[in-house]
Amino acid sequence: MVDGGSVPLGSVSREIVVRVQHLVKRYGTDVVAVDGVDLEVAHGEIVGLLGPNGAGKTTTIECIVGLRQPTEGTIFVLGVDPAKERDVITSRVAVQPQSASLLEFQTVRETVELFASFHPTPLSIESVLADTGLSDVSKRRVRKLSGGERRRLLLAVALIGDPDLLVLDEPSAGLDPSARQSLWALIESLKVRGKTVLLSTHHMDEATKLCDRVIIIVKGRVAAEGTPSELVRRHSSVSYVEFTVQESASSEDLENIVGSPYELHHVSGGVRIAAETTDPDGLIRRATFNVRVQSRDFAVRASSLEDVFLDIAVNGGPNAGN
């Protein structure tokens, strides 16, 4: 193994930006926040860390960027130990935390200018303000920013040094839908520029949209890993079918159609049936050809990353669903 370097994948090699091996972080003798996490992030990837509250995501991130010392295990970021080689990490890695202390009486522009002064070749202040949607509030003092504007300012501070690795902890928390879409476009543009992004999120649509791979952490351990589509295929073959029938439809006919437990809700002009099935086409055929049941308004939804996440998080533990 070459620490932080390239590793072969068949006949192809990739540059590993983050390598974590058997990461353990304990607090005292009773609390194990991270319990043997292994993960890698390659150059140019966007990788998402998913997990319920208290799963160990933030602690893992803090160890990766050198803010906490692991109890056990090894971490290499850009080829160095992040806890020991602070100069390398601070010059090439940027973090947008969930919250941070800023100078409340500075303006937005003054804050970005201050952090730009810490870097030898910062990005254009105007471009960073524009990219993070802060141009119109650049003269506003930090103490007067809304929660979403403050989140965008933390992102601007992280971006201004043009980092090789950007670590985002819940980047879209507190943002409205329009601001989230702008943030996603910005993160995707970083990948086009050859940057590497590691982010934690509770938004499954965000992970599905942005991430090349996701790593689901449950109780301090990796419970599942793969592309969003891989995880859906691997962990769930269930689809969700809804349709409406007349009020007089018998429970026997509905059971013959659905073939499994179902939910029903009274709606205008009938009853709405919702069922999980591994054979949505068969269910729809049975409903369509049953002359005693007047089925209409069919809707079919395949499993999503959110369904997989909820199943793994609820069932719990490493390799859940494997």
| pLDDT number for residue 11 | 35
For the chain, the first-to-last Cα distance in angstroms comes to: 28
- By C-alpha distance, which of 300, 313, 307, 284 is closest to 236? 307
The answer to whether residue 321 is domain-embedded is no
Q: Are residues 243 and 163 part of one domain?
A: no
Q: From the CB of residue 139, how many other CB atoms can be counted at a distance below 10 Å?
A: 9
| pLDDT number for residue 221 | 94
Q: Are residues 119 and 228 part of one domain?
A: yes
Instruction: Count Cα atoms within 13 angstroms, Cβ side, for 177.
Output: 1
Q: Are residues 223 and 262 part of one domain?
A: no
CATH number of the domain bearing residue 159: 3.40.50.300
The answer to whether residue 42 is domain-embedded is yes
Q: Are residues 113 and 243 part of one domain?
A: no
Distance CA(125)–CA(139), nearest Å, equals 13
The answer to whether residue 307 is domain-embedded is no
The answer to whether residue 117 is domain-embedded is yes
Q: Are residues 133 and 201 part of one domain?
A: yes
Non-local (6+) Cβ contacts of 84 within 8 A are 66
The answer to whether residue 310 is domain-embedded is no
Q: Are residues 144 and 100 part of one domain?
A: yes
Phi and psi angles of residue 27, each rounded to the nearest 5 degrees, phi first: -120, 110
Domain boundary among 217, 234, 251: 234
Q: From the CB of residue 260, how many other CB atoms can be counted at a distance below 10 Å?
A: 11
Q: What is the largest CA-CA distance in the chain?
A: 76
Q: Are residues 70 and 49 part of one domain?
A: yes
What would the DSSP string read from start to end of 127-184?
A: HHHHHTT-GGGTTSBGGG--HHHHHHHHHHHHHTT--SEEEEESTTTT--HHHHHHHH
The answer to whether residue 51 is domain-embedded is yes
Domain boundary among 213, 234, 255: 234
Domain that holds residue 291: 237-302
How many helices and strands in the chain, by DSSP H and E? Answer: 11, 14
Q: How much is the pTM?
A: 0.79
H or E stretch at 301? strand 296-302
Report angle CA 85, 218, 320 to the nearest 5 degrees: 130
| pLDDT number for residue 315 | 66
Q: Are residues 225 and 132 part of one domain?
A: yes
Distance CA(196)–CA(17), nearest Å, equals 8
Domain boundary among 184, 211, 234: 234
| pLDDT number for residue 320 | 46
| pLDDT number for residue 171 | 86
> Per residue in 288-302, is it b (16+ CB within 10 Å) or e — as a string?
eebeebebeeeeeee
Overall number of domains in the chain:
2
Q: Are residues 200 and 86 part of one domain?
A: yes
The answer to whether residue 15 is domain-embedded is yes
Handedness of CA 311, 316, 318, 322 (dihedral sign): negative
CATH number of the domain bearing residue 249: 3.30.70.1150
* Locus of tokens 């086009």: 192
Q: Are residues 92 and 153 part of one domain?
A: yes
The answer to whether residue 149 is domain-embedded is yes
| pLDDT number for residue 316 | 55
Q: Are residues 285 and 230 part of one domain?
A: no
What parts of the chain have a pLDDT lower than 50?
A: 1-12, 317-322
Q: Are residues 225 and 248 part of one domain?
A: no
